[in-house]
Amino acid sequence: MANEATEKVHVLIIGSGPAGYTAAIYAARANMKPLLYQGIQPGGQLTITTEVENYPGYPDGIQGPEMMIHFEKQAVRMGADVRYGLATKVDFSQQPYKVWIDEAKLIEADSVIICTGASAKWLGIPSEERLNGFGVSACAVCDGFFFRGKEVAIVGAGDTAAEEALYLSKLCTTVHMFIRKDKMRASKVMQDRVVNTPNIKVYWNTDTDEILGEKKVEAVRIKNSLTQETQEIPISGFFVAIGHQPNSDIFKDWLTMDETGYIQTIPGTSKTNIEGVFAAGDVQDKTYRQAVTAAGSGCMAALDAERYLSAKGLA
């Protein structure tokens, strides 16, 4: 039942990375008066990224947080209502859809665009957090360029880790790859490529003990889990490729997801299994995970929402 804390909107956007802000820009320009809640990390993963050099339109590169401020300002200038707040519960059983913000305020929306992103999984060691952005990264495609001609390390054993190791091998002199067990989870073809790449050195049964360096990554200390022997390797960059976790938990009772929690959309669209609910960005994309692809899918979601609302006579 509606109460004074309830608000009704045409389009509710949940999340504020490149996908969310782009959806807001397009929805606002289409006069859909979108309301965007920024979530637990306003600006998304780019706010913990330093230099961004691969987004079109920034010939000299830009700092990730600054770029997200630009996105937000553009969305606000177009007329989007951007607010702090975290979606904590949803009810997609009937329209208008219900979304609770910070467990208190209820938003009723004719359509919902989910842009909650995904969070990189980390090893959980203090030096990893301290040096994040100063040589520690969870995205080789984003940051590998800064380590051209240098030695780097990567930890992970799946297809993503293998792909990122191969990517780094084309830029860096040596890639030290740490595998916790005596085998990789990656597909056979990816394993073969890694093993047959001369400048990738694979370390089996190896745990990362500590990343060394005061203000930037200078070395890594590893430990062999069988012999307990430790070893220090001088490196300039340390890449974590142990997977991402989509921020989709509050939607799991309503939306179709894959086994790891990525929201599934109808191919070529942003449409989920519930009409009027759309998903964009890294919460539904485990393949590309780039700012530019997230922004593109945010555009798709806003256009899909506009067509949906028009067909329903709601916009």
Residues 143-165 pLDDT 10s? 999 999 999 999 999 988 999 99
Report how far residue 209's alpha carbon sits from residue 193's, in angstroms, rounded to the nearest whole number: 27
Boundaries of every domain in the chain? 6-119+244-311, 122-240
Task: Say whether pLDDT at 124 is over 90.
Answer: yes
Selecting among 143, 282, 285, 304, the annotated active-site residue is 143
Task: Say whether pLDDT at 51 is over 90.
Answer: no
| Under 8 Å between Cβ of 52 and 290 | no
Any idea which residue has 């520690």 for tokens? 136
Residues 279-303 pLDDT 10s? 999 999 998 889 999 999 999 999 9
> 6-119+244-311 with 122-240: one CATH topology?
yes
Selecting among 60, 110, 115, 139, the annotated active-site residue is 139
| Residue 86 DSSP SS3 | coil
Task: Say whether pLDDT at 314 is over 90.
Answer: no
Q: Is the pTM of this model over 0.85?
A: no
Nearest alpha-carbon partner for 85 in 97, 99, 70: 99
Element (H, E) at 152: strand 151-155
299 classed as catalytic? no
115 classed as catalytic? no
Q: Candidates 1.10.1270.20, 3.90.1150.10, 3.50.50.60, 3.40.50.1470; correct CATH number of 6-119+244-311? A: 3.50.50.60
Kindly indicate whether the domain formed by 122-240 is annotated with CATH number 3.30.200.20.
no
139 classed as catalytic? yes
pLDDT at residue 2, as a whole number: 44
pLDDT at residue 82, as a whole number: 97
Task: Say whether pLDDT at 4 is over 80.
Answer: no
* Alpha-helical runs (H) found in the chain: 18-29, 64-78, 126-130, 140-143, 159-169, 188-195, 291-311
DSSP state of 257: B
pLDDT at residue 53, as a whole number: 85
pLDDT at residue 1, as a whole number: 41
Residues 97-108 pLDDT 10s? 999 999 999 999
Selecting among 115, 142, 172, 299, the annotated active-site residue is 142
